[in-house]
Amino acid sequence: MGDDRINKIVGSVSKLFLDYGIRGVTMDDIAHRLSMSKKTLYEFFHDKKELVEAVLNLARGEIEDHFNRMNGSKMNAIEELFYYYELQIKMIRSNKPAFLYDLKKYYPDLYGKFQGFKHEVIYNNVISNIDKGIAEGLYRSDLNPDYIARNSLMGFECMMNSDVFSPEEYISTEMFSELFKYHLFGITSDSGREIVMKKFNISNI
């Protein structure tokens, strides 16, 4: 029962942080949203940083669950990428720039730890997807999976740590859609490209 209550608290706090940013939400706000006293809230979490870490752990578990579900399916490599694409679009639509900004500025240790987790997950799954696509004949046979995986990580990092793109742009669905197409058409074979074109309803390029 205790774990259920903690999970409920963390789920509610996660929505507050995403909507208003971390700095914009106080422990008083959280207690009020949960209809509990601040004293009771502190019985579960000693401070706001513990709550932030719990929210990140929740996100980590959800990311792992999604990738495990994808890897345990019978989808081909391109279908896996489209599954990931739809998942990312949903996540982007629920995110706000203030959350990432506050996390990086006020909790750099937690931000770095979470980024390290995401990098490992993204790298390993890109490698796995590339290998699978080559074996299925849907991706170019001359691809270097390690280079593609590291380039994917570099792309995300450069976007988030430069002034070329605004925070609003690098969490926009339009931006992600363009980058997704760029990635797909760069790695697919002729037969794979036909599948991609059909999925995007593209008749001619």
Residue 113: CB atoms within 10 Å:
14
Residue 1: predicted pLDDT = 39
CA distance to 117, 152, 155, per residue, from 148 (Å): 18, 6, 10
Residue 124: predicted pLDDT = 94
| CB neighbour class for 111 (10 Å; exposed up to 12, middle 13-18, buried from 19) | middle
Residue 164: predicted pLDDT = 75
Residue 5: predicted pLDDT = 87
- Round to whole Å and give the CA distance between 24 and 31: 14
Chain-centroid distance of CA 74 in Å reads 22
- Which residues have CB under 8 Å from 35's CB, separation 6+? none
- Round to whole Å and give the CA distance between 91 and 93: 5
Residue 170: predicted pLDDT = 65
Residue 32: predicted pLDDT = 94
Tokens, residue 188: 């697919």
pLDDT tens per residue across all 205 residues of the chain:
357 889 999 999 999 998 899 999 999 999 999 999 999 999 999 999 999 999 999 999 998 998 888 888 889 999 999 998 888 787 777 767 788 889 999 999 999 999 999 899 989 999 999 999 999 999 999 999 999 999 888 876 666 666 777 767 766 788 888 889 999 999 999 999 999 999 888 765 4
Residue 165: predicted pLDDT = 72
- Which residues have CB under 8 Å from 172's CB, separation 6+? 92
Residue 72: predicted pLDDT = 81
Q: Which domains does the chain have, with CATH numbers?
A: 57-199 (1.10.357.10)
Chain-centroid distance of CA 52 in Å reads 17
Residue 159: predicted pLDDT = 63
Q: What is the DSSP code string of 142-186?
A: T--HHHHHHHHHHHHHHHHTSSSS-HHHHT-HHHHHHHHHHHHHH
- Round to whole Å and give the CA distance between 26 and 156: 30
Of 48, 17, 13, the C-alpha closest to 33 is 13
